[in-house]
Every structure is written in C-alpha cells, then in structure tokens.
Structure 1
C-alpha cells in the first residue's frame, strides 16, 4: 500500500525485454538508478511504486534497484514507454510509522490517460487528461482522489461524456514529480480511488440479491409501482 506522496525521482538505467513464458508473453527487466534516498532500508521482495505501479525489488545496490514487469502490467500502464534516461516517480510501501499524507493507493494501475492540455494558472498548472478506457470515468468524481503516475491528486472537474478530467498542480508538487516534464500527448498512469469500485460492487451485489427474492424491499417496491401504473392506465 502507498500514500501517493512521491518520495524521490529516479532515473531508468536499463530497460531490457525478456521472454516471460510463464505469463504468456514478453516481460521487461527494469533497473532504476539515482535511488539512494529510498534504498536505505530496502530488502529483496520489498514493494516500490514506480510511476504508480507496485513492483517487487529483485536486486539492489546502494543507489540502484531492479524489478521485473509482466506483460499484463505493460498492457495496463505507460511503463513500456520508458527507456534509459527516463525519469520516474518513486515511493516505498508504507510502514507503521509513516504519516498518511495522501490517500489509499494500491499501486494497481487501472488504465492510462493522455495529457491533452496543460495551462498555467499563476504558479499552478491545470492539466487536462483523456482516458484511454472511458469506462473508468465512472469512478472519477469532482474533488475526489486520484493517483496519476503514483501522485495523489485532487480532481477539479470531470467531463463524463468525453471521458476527460482535470487536476490542478501547485508549484511545490511540480518540483517533486515528473508530470511537468511530460509533453502534450504523453500518457500517465491512472489509479482511480478504490472506494468507488468497492461501493459499486456492494450495490450491484445487493441489487442482484434482492431481485432474486420476491419478498425483498426492492421487488416489493417495483411491484407496487407497476400496480399503481396499471391502475392509472385502466382509469
């Protein structure tokens, strides 16, 4: 689990494709350098978020660490666009003594979004994004949380028809994360707030359960509405 508060910006040292037969395709071995500030307490098997993607440390030195990326992760995220020299957001998994400054971030990216506009508003930048997979717009709400390339941010507006949304990034955050380094047309990783998905699952499960029970409040309500409409129609 992560907070979406980026700890450090690292640099991709190596990006090496390999045959990942077990997962049905080609994976990637990724080595990140300039990472010393987050490696003082690292262990093999630890989780580190790279651009919002929870990945497992398989090797490390004082200033570098290596992870493996599966084909499924490459399909879901923008990590396939990385190359030596690319800058990446880094965050260690939370521990018991970490102050929770962002929001609950799993590191399980849902999809990607394209940067379609970025305009200055005094010292801040207003970013506009277009989702690749439009269905995820249902989980994005104005003033709600969202994780973009692993950065916890607040949504300022949503256009559900176009599957677009906006965030405002203050000057301090601009200096701590990689998004201001990106260009119009670049993609960012998107993890929507898991709370919305959990609520939807519970609501759907509850409705399905009530529909199958003729004595449930929902079925009784529907029957009452139908009876009333039929009476009104026959008057």
Structure 2
C-alpha cells in the first residue's frame, strides 16, 4: 500500500530482457539508480512503487535497486517504454508511522492514458488525459483522487462523453514528479481511487439483492411480517 506522495525521482540505469530457464517464460530486469533517499531502510522483498506500479526489490546497494517485471505488468503499464536514462517516480510502501498525505494507493495500475494537452495556467500546469480503457472513467469524478505515474492528484475536470479528465500541477508538484516533463502523446500509468470500486460493488449487490448473508431479503421479510400483523389487528 502507498500514499501517492512521490518520495524521490530515480533514473533507469539498466534494463534487460531475459528468458527464465526454469519456467520457460520471459521477463525484464530493471535497475534504478539515484534512489538513495528511499534505500536507507531497504530490505530484499520490499515493495517500491515505480511510476505507480508496485514492484518487489530483488537486489540493492546504497544508491540503486533492482526489480523484475512480469510480461503482464509490461502489457498493462508504461514500464515497457522505459529506456536507460528514463526518470521514474519512486515511493516506498507505507509503514506504521507514515503520514497519509495523499490517498490509499495499491500500486495496481488499472490502465494507461495518453496526455492529450498541456496548458500553462500561471505557474501551474493543466494536463488532460485520455485513457486506453474508457471504462475507468466511471470511477473518475471531479475533485476526486486519481493516481498518475504513482502521484496522488486531484481531478479538476472530467468529460465522460469525450473521454478525458484533467489535473492541475502546481509549481512545487511539477518539480517533484516526472509527469510534468512529459509531452502530448506520452503515456502515463493510471490507478483510480479504489473506494469507487468498493462503492460500485456494494451498490450493485444491494440493487441485485445480493447483500451478504441475505440481509436485504431478511429486511423485506421483517417488513412484510410487520404489515401482516397490523392487518390482523
């Protein structure tokens, strides 16, 4: 679990593809340097968010760490477009004393989105995104949370019909995340607020009469029974 508050920006120093002789599958190994600020308490097996994707540390030094990326992860995220020298947002998993400055972020990318416009607004920057999977738009609401490349941001505008949403990056945020340096046409990783997914599931279950333990049916039965008693009186 993460907060969406980017701790530092790392640099991809090595990216290699390999064949796993034991499983017969293919994989990608990624080494990220300039990461010292998040490695002071690192351990093998730790989770680190790389551009919003939860990955597991397989090796590390004082300044860099290595992770493995599965083919499915490459298909669902923008990590496959990384090259040596690419800059990435980094965040360690939350700990018991972490301040919740952003929102609950799982590090499970829902889809990617393309930047379709960049509009300066004073010293701020408005970015408009169009998602690859339009279905995620039902979870995107004005003034709601959204995670872009691992950064917790606030949606400023959304248009379901045209299929886009916007966020505004203030000057401070522009210095702290890689997204501000991306151009129109570049892709970002997107994770919608999981609260919306839980609400949707529970509302759907309620409407369809599938409340856990048959609570809806029990409630209806009690109401009917009470009415029948009133009639008998």
TM-score (norm 2): 0.88
What 5-or-longer segments of structure 1 have no aligned partner?
Answer: 221-235
Which residue does 1:203 correspond to in 2? 203
Moved over 4 A (4+): 20-25, 210-217
- Residue 209 of structure 2 aligns to a residue whose secondary structure is helix
RMSD (Å) for aligned C-alpha atoms: 2.1
Q: Tell me the distance in 1 between the aligned counterparts of 2:191 and 2:22.
A: 26
SS in 2 for 1:175: helix
Instruction: Quote the offset at 1:21 in angstroms.
Output: 7.5
CA deviations over 1:32-91 (Å, ceiling 9, x no partner) = 001111100000000000000010000001101000011111111000000100000000
Instruction: Write the mapping of 1:114-133 to structure 2, written as runs, cut at 5 A.
Output: 114-133=114-133
Do the aligned partners of 1:20 and 1:70 also contact (CA within 8 Å) in 2?
no
Q: Secondary structure at the match of 2:31?
A: strand
Structure 2 gap segments, 5+ residues each: 224-233
Q: Quick check: 1:27–1:71 contact (8 Å CA) kept in 2?
A: yes
Partner of 1:41: 41
SS in 2 for 1:138: helix
Aligned to 1:31: 31
1:57–1:215 distance in 2 versus 1, CA, 3 Å:
closer
TM-score, with structure 1 as normaliser = 0.87
Distance 1:99 1:117, change over 3 A: same
Does residue 1:144 correspond to 2:144, yes or no? yes
**In structure 1, C-alpha distance between the alignment counterparts of 2:160 and 2:197, rounded to whole Å:** 16
1:183 CA drift (Å): 1.0
Q: Which residue in 2 is equivalent to 1:62?
A: 62
Q: Is the 8 A contact 1:139 1:196 kept in 2?
A: yes
User: Matched residues in 2 for 1:173 and 1:72: separation?
Assistant: 30
1:193 aligned residue: 193
1:108 aligns with 2:108: yes
The answer to whether the 8 A contact 1:210-1:216 is kept is no
Residues 1:168 and 2:168 aligned together: yes
